[in-house]
Every structure is written in C-alpha cells, then in structure tokens.
Structure 1
Amino acid sequence: MKVNKANVDHYIWGEGCDGWFLEKDTERTIIQERMPAGTSEALHVHQKAKQFFFMLSGEAVMWIDGQETTLQKHDGCTINPGTPHQIRNDSHVDNEFIVISTPSTRGDRTEL
C-alpha cells in the first residue's frame, strides 16, 4: 500500500510539532516529522533503539552526547542506543525530516 502524510496516523508532539507514522511496528518505525521554527525536542536517551535522522527540508541542530552538528537538507546522522540526544530547529522556517528507529522507541525513552 502506498503511504504518505495524508493516509497514515498523525500525532502532535512538543510545541506544535507533527509526526506521521509511515511505518509502525515493534521492529521498526519510520516517522516523517515537522518542526516549526524555534522548537525543540526534550533531551532524552533510548536504551535499545538505534535511530537515523534524515533532513527533507530546512535544517536542524542535533545535540548528540555533548556535541552539536547542523543538519541541512539531505544530511543525515545516526544515534546509537544509550546516547543522549536532542533535535532543535533554531532557524526561522519549518523543517521536515525522517526518523527511522530500530526497534521501535515505544517504552524506550527516558527524558534527561
């Protein structure tokens, strides 16, 4: 079945951020997310899940275990299990990105 933001489960997180489950099962989730300008996710860690973030548009600052890197359109990065991390949109425009989590992060998130 073809999937896109119009025909999958949607949720709102943080300060008006959006998430769309492109794939959702216990072994892996693929989520397309949108962060408005000036928003951020809480600093957190996953004990089991490995995550890959890939920017579709705009840019984001990734704080990964004490180091910051800016991801621009078509940049990506991997977050290994047990690594504290946070994504922020410090820009003046919305961004969109894909995050792939293996296994699912359900029940595997601790905010710091």
Structure 2
Amino acid sequence: MISQENAEHYVWGDNCDGWYLVNRQDMLIIHEKMPPGTCETRHFHSVSRQFFFVLQGVLTMELEGENHDIRAQQGLEIAPGARHQARNDSESPVEFLVISHPTPRGDRTDLSAC
C-alpha cells in the first residue's frame, strides 16, 4: 500500500511538494501540491506522455500557448512533444496527480522559467 504518508517526498520549484506513488522506468505516478502563485518551468518531453488529474483546487496548464483551468476531478493529457507549463494562479493550494509513461526522467527539455 502507498499513500502520501509513506511515499518518498521531495520539494521542487518554489516550495512545491511531490510524493512518488509509483516510481518505475516504464511509469511514474506522483502526487504534487503547489502553493498559490507558483509555477514550473515551461518544457516538453520527447517520449513521455503525461496525464494531470486535479484532486483539489484549480491547476492552470499552459499547453502549446493555450491556458486550461483544470478543476477538481478533471484531467488533461499532454502528448509527447507538447510544450507545457503547470501553474497555480489561484489563491489556494492545488493538489494533483501526474501520471507519466514512460518516466520523464532524462526526457525533459526546459524552455523558459516561471
């Protein structure tokens, strides 16, 4: 059994949290939490396909120049090669799952910072 309480934790970006729920070469599932006003570096993956699913709050995903507000119990798929950036433009924390196949490790090209 895996949960946020016993999963490996890491901190990224500007005080954002992540927990590895599944950490394999063929699949990566992470639970992430972004405080208000935070964002990740805009980037793309050449091979990895990702699916973001919001658990709580609103995640703004810039995908190929178009903003998508993903609300609780909604998700968005990111195809390989698609340039994207996750942001929390709201005044509340946002929590979401990121499912990647295969793992995006070593398959990320950064484009621009927040």
- Into which bin does the TM-score normalised by the smaller protein fall? over 0.9
Residue segments in structure 2 that go unaligned for 5+ positions in a row: none
Deviations 1:21-56 (A, max 9, x none): 000000000000000000001100000100000000
Shift of 1:8: 1.3
Q: What is the TM-score with the length of structure 2 in the denominator?
A: 0.96
- The whole-number CA distance in structure 1 between the counterparts of 2:4 and 2:74 is 21
Given the alignment of the two structures, is residue 50 of structure 1 paired with residue 46 of structure 2, yes or no?
no
- Matching residue's letter, 1:7: N
Shift of 1:6: 1.2
Deviations 1:58-106 (A, max 9, x none): 0011000111110011110000000000010000010100000000011
Q: Which residue of 2 aligns with 1:28?
A: 27
- Matching residue's letter, 2:54: M
Q: What is the TM-score with the length of structure 1 in the denominator?
A: 0.98
Q: Which residue of 2 aligns with 1:60?
A: 59
After TM superposition, what 4+ stretches of structure 1 lie above 2 angstroms from structure 2? none
- Matching residue's letter, 2:43: H
Q: Percent identity?
A: 45
Computed over aligned residues only, the root mean square deviation of the Cα atoms, in angstroms, reads 0.5
